[in-house]
Amino acid sequence: MKIALTASVCVTSGACTPNPLILIEDGIIVKLGRRSELEIPGGFELREFPDAVIAPGFVDIHIHGGAGHDVMEADEAALGLIERHLAKTGVTTYLPTTVTAPLDTTLRALERLATAVETAAQSTEGTLRARPAGIHLEGPFISHQKRGVHPPEHIQPPSIELFDRMWQAARGQIKLMTVAPEVPGAIELVEEAVRRGVCVSIGHSNAESETALRAIRAGARHATHTFNAMRAFDHREPGIIGAVLSSAHTYAEIIADGIHVAPAALSMFLRCKGVDRAVLVTDAMSATGMPDGTYQLGSFAVEVKDGVALSEGKLAGSVLTLDAAVRNVMAFTGWELHDALPLVTRNPAAVVGLNCGKLEPGSPADLVVLSPTGNVLRTVSRGAGLN
């Protein structure tokens, strides 16, 4: 199928192209430029979005589920339902994220997720769904003091041997791993994971600032849901938050739902990390896109009411979608849409070294068509969605 796509503006790689023309052939972008400078070849069908914004498909590197399903569950249909739900919110690439669970449960989940990642990488079929591009291992190498809702009985001390078992189960598909750097053995684990090409994210941590900086020097380059499940900031001991916000080369993610982090804290975070190092994530759980009720996060139950997900009185993930996170950044901070878009495209892809989050000739036609206020009008996954 050959499609010519036009809109009011295209935002990619931090640049805005007015009145763009994107030529898509068999799910691949073949040309992109200003409409005034390109001709539409014969045989191409024109799809026009005159008042819309075209951007790369969104990338969510921290998500546990949606549409009533969890990424760790054994139901083979679960991921497909989650992925179709994600596509409706503009997401075309994601990292299914584990939560601390019994070891055998985690290993089986890693095996299933690795198969899903490998299948997605090998498939050339254009279907309207997000594609898993790796695994985010959140837990079990975290702090008991800042575990959040992760079950304490399944938290493990940092261990290269145990990490290797997980690495083998995942067949090398672990792209991102959350580690608490203050726990004995953590720095050695950071160094080994980095050696294997894993992006290490510091989080679920009670670390003081010097310990967090030591992990960064060892190769950690990201922070998990900044402010949440972290030692509180203090002006004499700024802790992990101070280390992350003051590190010029460290990426950091944040849950911009107005529940996990107050708008003023979000604004401060964005001022510190800027348009090049800030990342929006959802930390979404199975209840996302569903009515209030009781849902699963990994192996435990979470009660969702009025948009708040709680387990034993603690926040347990979210029901946020990435398009809503973009709109919240605009509403809470006054950022323009073109400033917020890199936080869900270019930046998360850069965190884990994915070749996505951008639009250029030769890349898959993974893109989202948005209203000027950030509402999703159309999601396109490898060309699917333009029929």
- Residues tagged active-site: 283
How far apart are alpha carbons 249 and 213 in whole angstroms?
A: 12
Single out the residue of 31, 35, 37, 3 nearest to residue 19, CA to CA.
35
How far apart are alpha carbons 342 and 13 in whole angstroms?
A: 7
First to last CA, the chain: 9
How far apart are alpha carbons 72 and 220 in whole angstroms?
A: 25
Instruction: Give the H/E segment covering residue 167.
Output: helix 160-169
Q: What share of the chain is helix, strand, coil (3-state, %, to 5)?
A: 30, 30, 40
Single out the residue of 109, 150, 116 nearest to residue 131, CA to CA.
116
Q: Which two tokens stand for residue 172?
A: 């090398």
How far apart are alpha carbons 237 and 74 in whole angstroms?
A: 44
Instruction: Give the H/E segment covering residue 83.
Output: helix 78-88
Q: How many CB atoms neighbour CB 258 within 10 A?
A: 16
How far apart are alpha carbons 44 and 22 in whole angstroms?
A: 11
How far apart are alpha carbons 227 and 141 in whole angstroms?
A: 18
Task: Look at the chain and count its residues.
Answer: 387
How far apart are alpha carbons 115 and 322 in whole angstroms?
A: 25
Query: Does the bond joining 372 to the residue before it have cis omega, within 30 degrees of 0?
Result: no
Single out the residue of 180, 44, 173 nearest to residue 112, CA to CA.
173
